[in-house]
Protein backbone atom coordinates (compact mmCIF):
# COMPACT_ATOMS: atom_id res chain seq x y z
CA UNK A 1 0.00 0.00 0.00
CA UNK A 2 1.39 3.38 -0.97
CA UNK A 3 1.72 6.02 1.71
CA UNK A 4 0.83 9.39 0.23
CA UNK A 5 2.03 12.52 2.01
CA UNK A 6 0.97 15.87 0.63
CA UNK A 7 3.11 18.78 1.77
CA UNK A 8 3.37 22.39 0.71
CA UNK A 9 6.13 23.33 3.10
CA UNK A 10 9.71 22.34 3.63
CA UNK A 11 9.88 20.10 6.69
CA UNK A 12 12.91 19.75 8.91
CA UNK A 13 14.80 16.49 8.33
CA UNK A 14 13.97 15.27 11.84
CA UNK A 15 10.24 15.69 11.16
CA UNK A 16 10.49 14.08 7.74
CA UNK A 17 12.31 11.10 9.21
CA UNK A 18 9.25 10.43 11.34
CA UNK A 19 7.02 10.54 8.29
CA UNK A 20 9.22 8.38 6.08
CA UNK A 21 10.98 5.74 8.20
CA UNK A 22 14.13 4.39 6.61
CA UNK A 23 14.06 0.64 5.97
CA UNK A 24 17.38 -0.97 5.18
CA UNK A 25 15.89 -3.99 3.48
CA UNK A 26 15.65 -2.20 0.13
CA UNK A 27 12.03 -3.25 -0.39
CA UNK A 28 10.73 0.31 -0.59
CA UNK A 29 11.35 3.57 -2.43
CA UNK A 30 11.00 7.06 -0.98
CA UNK A 31 9.81 9.23 -3.87
CA UNK A 32 9.64 13.03 -4.04
CA UNK A 33 7.30 13.96 -6.88
CA UNK A 34 6.34 17.27 -8.46
CA UNK A 35 3.64 15.37 -10.31
CA UNK A 36 0.29 15.57 -8.53
CA UNK A 37 -0.73 12.45 -6.67
CA UNK A 38 -3.54 11.55 -9.07
CA UNK A 39 -1.11 11.75 -12.00
CA UNK A 40 1.38 9.26 -10.55
CA UNK A 41 -0.22 7.18 -7.79
CA UNK A 42 -2.03 4.62 -10.03
CA UNK A 43 1.31 3.72 -11.62
CA UNK A 44 2.98 3.41 -8.24
CA UNK A 45 0.18 1.13 -7.05
CA UNK A 46 0.75 -1.09 -10.07
CA UNK A 47 4.50 -1.14 -9.46
CA UNK A 48 3.95 -2.27 -5.88
CA UNK A 49 1.56 -4.99 -7.00
CA UNK A 50 4.04 -6.31 -9.55
CA UNK A 51 7.24 -6.10 -7.47
CA UNK A 52 6.22 -6.02 -3.81
CA UNK A 53 8.27 -2.82 -3.42
CA UNK A 54 6.35 -0.17 -1.52
CA UNK A 55 6.55 3.46 -2.57
CA UNK A 56 6.38 6.24 0.00
CA UNK A 57 5.16 9.29 -1.91
CA UNK A 58 5.82 12.92 -1.06
CA UNK A 59 4.30 15.46 -3.47
CA UNK A 60 5.01 19.16 -3.69
CA UNK A 61 5.90 22.06 -5.93
CA UNK A 62 8.91 21.36 -8.13
CA UNK A 63 11.11 24.20 -6.87
CA UNK A 64 10.15 23.54 -3.24
CA UNK A 65 11.12 19.88 -3.54
CA UNK A 66 14.58 20.80 -4.85
CA UNK A 67 15.02 23.29 -2.00
CA UNK A 68 13.96 20.56 0.39
CA UNK A 69 16.53 18.14 -0.99
CA UNK A 70 19.25 20.76 -0.66
CA UNK A 71 18.17 21.62 2.88
CA UNK A 72 18.06 17.98 3.98
CA UNK A 73 21.41 17.19 2.40
CA UNK A 74 22.81 13.75 3.18
CA UNK A 75 20.02 13.24 5.74
CA UNK A 76 17.28 13.19 3.12
CA UNK A 77 15.27 9.96 3.03
CA UNK A 78 14.49 10.55 -0.67
CA UNK A 79 15.65 7.95 -3.17
CA UNK A 80 14.10 9.32 -6.35
CA UNK A 81 12.91 12.70 -7.65
CA UNK A 82 10.26 13.09 -10.33
CA UNK A 83 9.86 16.61 -11.66
CA UNK A 84 8.78 18.54 -14.74
CA UNK A 85 10.99 20.22 -17.34
CA UNK A 86 14.55 19.35 -18.29
CA UNK A 87 15.58 22.72 -16.87
CA UNK A 88 14.58 21.63 -13.37
CA UNK A 89 16.28 18.27 -13.75
CA UNK A 90 19.45 20.08 -14.78
CA UNK A 91 19.16 22.29 -11.69
CA UNK A 92 18.95 19.21 -9.49
CA UNK A 93 22.07 17.80 -11.12
CA UNK A 94 23.89 21.13 -10.80
CA UNK A 95 22.93 21.30 -7.13
CA UNK A 96 24.72 18.01 -6.56
CA UNK A 97 21.71 16.09 -5.24
CA UNK A 98 21.60 13.43 -7.99
CA UNK A 99 23.82 10.56 -9.10
CA UNK A 100 24.52 8.61 -12.27
CA UNK A 101 22.29 5.65 -13.06
CA UNK A 102 23.76 2.67 -14.88
CA UNK A 103 20.93 0.84 -16.62
CA UNK A 104 21.12 -0.80 -20.03
CA UNK A 105 17.33 -0.85 -20.17
CA UNK A 106 16.97 2.91 -19.59
CA UNK A 107 19.72 3.70 -22.08
CA UNK A 108 18.05 1.47 -24.67
CA UNK A 109 14.49 2.74 -24.22
CA UNK A 110 14.92 6.46 -23.52
CA UNK A 111 16.24 8.31 -26.60
CA UNK A 112 19.58 10.03 -26.07
CA UNK A 113 18.17 13.55 -26.40
CA UNK A 114 15.65 12.86 -23.62
CA UNK A 115 18.19 11.89 -20.97
CA UNK A 116 21.22 13.41 -19.31
CA UNK A 117 24.46 12.57 -21.15
CA UNK A 118 26.00 11.41 -17.85
CA UNK A 119 22.92 9.45 -16.80
CA UNK A 120 21.76 11.76 -13.97
CA UNK A 121 18.17 11.98 -15.23
CA UNK A 122 15.81 10.30 -17.69
CA UNK A 123 12.69 11.52 -19.46
CA UNK A 124 9.47 9.71 -18.57
CA UNK A 125 7.00 11.53 -20.83
CA UNK A 126 6.97 14.31 -23.43
CA UNK A 127 4.95 17.50 -23.40
CA UNK A 128 4.85 19.71 -26.47
CA UNK A 129 4.49 23.52 -26.40
CA UNK A 130 2.79 24.46 -29.69
CA UNK A 131 0.82 27.49 -30.84
CA UNK A 132 -2.87 27.30 -29.92
CA UNK A 133 -5.30 29.43 -31.90
CA UNK A 134 -8.97 30.37 -31.64
CA UNK A 135 -10.90 28.47 -34.28
CA UNK A 136 -12.77 30.75 -36.65
CA UNK A 137 -10.66 33.79 -35.72
CA UNK A 138 -7.27 32.57 -36.90
CA UNK A 139 -6.59 30.81 -40.17
CA UNK A 140 -3.89 28.22 -39.35
CA UNK A 141 -2.49 28.77 -42.83
CA UNK A 142 -1.23 32.15 -41.58
CA UNK A 143 0.90 30.48 -38.88
CA UNK A 144 4.34 28.98 -39.41
CA UNK A 145 6.89 29.23 -36.60
CA UNK A 146 7.61 30.66 -33.15
CA UNK A 147 9.86 33.19 -34.86
CA UNK A 148 7.02 34.36 -37.14
CA UNK A 149 4.88 35.37 -34.15
CA UNK A 150 6.65 38.73 -34.34
CA UNK A 151 4.84 39.46 -37.62
CA UNK A 152 2.75 42.66 -37.39
CA UNK A 153 -0.48 40.70 -37.94
CA UNK A 154 -0.16 39.24 -34.40
CA UNK A 155 0.30 42.53 -32.57
CA UNK A 156 -1.91 42.60 -29.47
CA UNK A 157 -3.22 39.09 -30.16
CA UNK A 158 -0.92 36.78 -28.16
CA UNK A 159 -1.32 35.39 -24.62
CA UNK A 160 1.57 33.68 -22.87
CA UNK A 161 2.64 33.29 -19.26
CA UNK A 162 5.51 35.13 -17.58
CA UNK A 163 9.25 34.87 -18.05
CA UNK A 164 9.39 33.39 -14.55
CA UNK A 165 7.86 30.21 -15.92
CA UNK A 166 10.45 27.56 -16.71
CA UNK A 167 8.45 26.26 -19.68
CA UNK A 168 8.96 29.61 -21.40
CA UNK A 169 12.57 29.74 -20.27
CA UNK A 170 13.19 26.37 -21.90
CA UNK A 171 11.44 27.47 -25.09
CA UNK A 172 13.73 30.50 -25.30
CA UNK A 173 16.75 28.32 -24.48
CA UNK A 174 15.85 26.06 -27.41
CA UNK A 175 15.71 29.11 -29.67
CA UNK A 176 19.13 30.27 -28.46
CA UNK A 177 20.50 26.86 -29.38
CA UNK A 178 18.86 27.01 -32.82
CA UNK A 179 19.29 30.67 -33.77
CA UNK A 180 21.99 32.08 -31.53
CA UNK A 181 21.84 34.57 -28.65
CA UNK A 182 21.73 37.79 -30.69
CA UNK A 183 18.93 36.68 -33.03
CA UNK A 184 16.87 35.26 -30.16
CA UNK A 185 17.17 38.46 -28.15
CA UNK A 186 16.03 40.51 -31.15
CA UNK A 187 13.08 38.13 -31.51
CA UNK A 188 12.16 38.38 -27.82
CA UNK A 189 12.18 42.20 -27.89
CA UNK A 190 9.73 42.14 -30.79
CA UNK A 191 7.70 39.27 -29.35
CA UNK A 192 6.82 41.03 -26.07
CA UNK A 193 5.30 43.88 -28.08
CA UNK A 194 2.77 41.42 -29.50
CA UNK A 195 1.23 40.53 -26.13
CA UNK A 196 -2.47 41.19 -25.70
CA UNK A 197 -1.93 41.75 -21.96
CA UNK A 198 0.87 41.58 -19.38
CA UNK A 199 1.66 37.91 -18.68
CA UNK A 200 -0.25 36.43 -15.76
CA UNK A 201 -1.53 33.05 -14.68
CA UNK A 202 -0.68 29.58 -15.93
CA UNK A 203 -1.15 27.84 -19.26
CA UNK A 204 -4.83 27.13 -18.59
CA UNK A 205 -5.34 30.85 -17.97
CA UNK A 206 -3.86 31.68 -21.38
CA UNK A 207 -6.24 29.21 -23.04
CA UNK A 208 -9.24 30.59 -21.16
CA UNK A 209 -8.22 34.16 -22.03
CA UNK A 210 -8.06 33.27 -25.74
CA UNK A 211 -11.41 31.53 -25.60
CA UNK A 212 -12.90 34.59 -23.88
CA UNK A 213 -11.72 36.89 -26.67
CA UNK A 214 -8.83 38.59 -24.86
CA UNK A 215 -6.38 37.26 -27.45
CA UNK A 216 -6.42 35.03 -30.51
CA UNK A 217 -3.29 32.95 -29.89
CA UNK A 218 -1.89 31.23 -26.80
CA UNK A 219 1.42 29.42 -26.40
CA UNK A 220 0.83 26.54 -23.99
CA UNK A 221 1.67 22.91 -23.27
CA UNK A 222 -0.64 20.34 -24.82
CA UNK A 223 -0.83 18.65 -21.42
CA UNK A 224 -3.01 21.50 -20.15
CA UNK A 225 -5.26 21.59 -23.19
CA UNK A 226 -5.84 17.84 -22.98
CA UNK A 227 -6.66 18.14 -19.28
CA UNK A 228 -9.18 20.90 -19.95
CA UNK A 229 -10.88 18.87 -22.67
CA UNK A 230 -11.39 16.05 -20.15
CA UNK A 231 -12.28 18.33 -17.24
CA UNK A 232 -15.48 17.93 -15.21
CA UNK A 233 -15.68 21.72 -15.31
CA UNK A 234 -17.91 22.64 -18.24
CA UNK A 235 -16.31 26.07 -18.57
CA UNK A 236 -12.85 24.56 -19.01
CA UNK A 237 -14.12 22.08 -21.59
CA UNK A 238 -15.89 24.79 -23.57
CA UNK A 239 -12.82 27.02 -23.55
CA UNK A 240 -10.55 24.19 -24.72
CA UNK A 241 -12.96 23.19 -27.48
CA UNK A 242 -12.58 26.63 -29.04
CA UNK A 243 -8.86 26.12 -29.54
CA UNK A 244 -6.99 24.55 -32.44
CA UNK A 245 -3.45 23.17 -32.26
CA UNK A 246 -0.80 24.36 -34.70
CA UNK A 247 2.59 22.65 -34.83
CA UNK A 248 5.23 25.33 -35.48
CA UNK A 249 8.60 25.06 -37.22
CA UNK A 250 7.68 21.98 -39.23
CA UNK A 251 9.78 23.29 -42.12
CA UNK A 252 12.93 23.35 -40.00
CA UNK A 253 13.81 22.11 -36.49
CA UNK A 254 10.34 21.01 -35.32
CA UNK A 255 8.06 22.01 -32.45
CA UNK A 256 9.49 22.53 -29.00
CA UNK A 257 9.05 19.59 -26.62
CA UNK A 258 10.06 19.06 -23.01
CA UNK A 259 9.75 16.24 -20.51
CA UNK A 260 8.69 15.11 -17.12
CA UNK A 261 11.58 13.06 -15.82
CA UNK A 262 13.25 11.39 -12.88
CA UNK A 263 16.63 11.44 -11.16
CA UNK A 264 18.22 9.13 -8.61
CA UNK A 265 19.14 10.98 -5.41
CA UNK A 266 22.84 10.99 -4.55
CA UNK A 267 22.32 9.56 -1.07
CA UNK A 268 19.60 7.05 -2.04
CA UNK A 269 19.36 4.30 0.59
CA UNK A 270 17.22 2.10 -1.66
CA UNK A 271 19.15 2.55 -4.89
CA UNK A 272 18.31 -0.72 -6.64
CA UNK A 273 14.60 -0.47 -5.79
CA UNK A 274 14.58 3.12 -7.09
CA UNK A 275 16.20 2.05 -10.37
CA UNK A 276 13.59 -0.69 -10.71
CA UNK A 277 10.88 1.95 -10.36
CA UNK A 278 12.59 4.11 -12.98
CA UNK A 279 12.72 1.18 -15.39
CA UNK A 280 9.08 0.36 -14.69
CA UNK A 281 8.01 3.91 -15.54
CA UNK A 282 9.46 3.63 -19.05
CA UNK A 283 7.84 0.23 -19.61
CA UNK A 284 5.14 -0.17 -22.26
CA UNK A 285 2.18 -0.33 -19.86
CA UNK A 286 3.28 2.69 -17.84
CA UNK A 287 3.97 4.69 -21.00
CA UNK A 288 0.56 3.82 -22.43
CA UNK A 289 -1.08 4.92 -19.18
CA UNK A 290 0.78 8.25 -19.23
CA UNK A 291 -0.30 8.83 -22.82
CA UNK A 292 -3.98 8.11 -22.25
CA UNK A 293 -4.48 9.51 -18.74
CA UNK A 294 -2.12 12.47 -18.49
CA UNK A 295 -2.33 13.84 -22.02
CA UNK A 296 1.41 13.50 -22.53
CA UNK A 297 3.35 11.88 -25.34
CA UNK A 298 5.21 8.63 -24.62
CA UNK A 299 8.96 8.97 -24.38
CA UNK A 300 9.29 5.73 -26.35
CA UNK A 301 8.37 5.58 -30.02
CA UNK A 302 6.78 2.11 -29.91
CA UNK A 303 3.88 3.28 -27.70
CA UNK A 304 1.01 5.18 -29.31
CA UNK A 305 -0.15 8.57 -28.04
CA UNK A 306 -3.58 8.82 -26.45
CA UNK A 307 -6.71 9.41 -28.49
CA UNK A 308 -6.87 13.14 -27.71
CA UNK A 309 -3.28 13.68 -28.78
CA UNK A 310 -3.68 11.63 -31.94
CA UNK A 311 -6.54 13.89 -32.98
CA UNK A 312 -4.07 16.79 -33.16
CA UNK A 313 -2.04 14.99 -35.80
CA UNK A 314 1.56 13.89 -36.17
CA UNK A 315 4.32 16.47 -36.02
CA UNK A 316 8.09 16.85 -36.10
CA UNK A 317 9.77 17.49 -32.75
CA UNK A 318 12.85 19.56 -32.09
CA UNK A 319 15.69 17.07 -31.73
CA UNK A 320 17.79 19.19 -29.35
CA UNK A 321 19.38 17.30 -26.47
CA UNK A 322 17.26 18.57 -23.60
CA UNK A 323 20.28 18.90 -21.34
CA UNK A 324 21.02 22.06 -23.36
CA UNK A 325 17.82 23.65 -22.06
CA UNK A 326 19.23 23.53 -18.55
CA UNK A 327 22.69 24.64 -19.60
CA UNK A 328 21.28 27.63 -21.50
CA UNK A 329 18.71 28.55 -18.86
CA UNK A 330 20.79 31.35 -17.25
CA UNK A 331 21.30 33.00 -20.66
CA UNK A 332 17.61 32.62 -21.48
CA UNK A 333 16.61 34.28 -18.21
CA UNK A 334 18.93 37.25 -18.72
CA UNK A 335 17.81 37.61 -22.33
CA UNK A 336 14.12 37.64 -21.37
CA UNK A 337 14.78 40.24 -18.72
CA UNK A 338 16.62 42.48 -21.19
CA UNK A 339 13.72 42.08 -23.62
CA UNK A 340 11.23 43.33 -21.06
CA UNK A 341 9.39 40.00 -20.81
CA UNK A 342 7.75 40.37 -17.42
Question: Considering only CA atoms, which of 266, 244, 300 is closest in space to residue 130?
Answer: 244
| Biggest CA-to-CA distance, the chain | 63
Measured between alpha carbons, how far is 189 from 251 in angstroms, rounded to an integer?
24
Helices (H) and strands (E) in the chain, counts: 15, 12
Measured between alpha carbons, how far is 67 from 249 in angstroms, rounded to an integer?
36
Measured between alpha carbons, how far is 33 from 83 in angstroms, rounded to an integer?
6
Measured between alpha carbons, how far is 116 from 123 in angstroms, rounded to an integer?
9
How many Cβ atoms are within 10 Å of 329's Cβ, its own excluded? Answer: 23
| 224 labelled binding-site residue | yes
Could you tell me which residues come within 8 angstroms of residue 217 by beta carbon, excluding any fewer than 6 positions away? 131, 132, 133, 134, 138, 149, 154, 157, 158, 159, 210
Is 38 exposed, middle or buried, given 0-12, 13-18 or 19+ CB atoms closer than 10 A? Answer: exposed
Q: Which residues make up each annotated binding site for Fe cation?
A: 223-224
Q: Which residues make up each annotated binding site?
A: 223-224
Amino acid sequence: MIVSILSKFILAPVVLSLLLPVVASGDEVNLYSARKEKLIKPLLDRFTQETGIEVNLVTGKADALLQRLQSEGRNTPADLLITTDAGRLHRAKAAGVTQTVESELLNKIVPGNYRDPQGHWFGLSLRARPILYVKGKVDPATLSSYEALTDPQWKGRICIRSSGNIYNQSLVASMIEANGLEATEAWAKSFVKQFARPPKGGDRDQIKAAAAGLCDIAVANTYYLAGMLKSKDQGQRQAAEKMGVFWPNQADRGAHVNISGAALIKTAKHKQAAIKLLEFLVGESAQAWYAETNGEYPVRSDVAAGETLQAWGKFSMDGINLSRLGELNPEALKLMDRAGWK
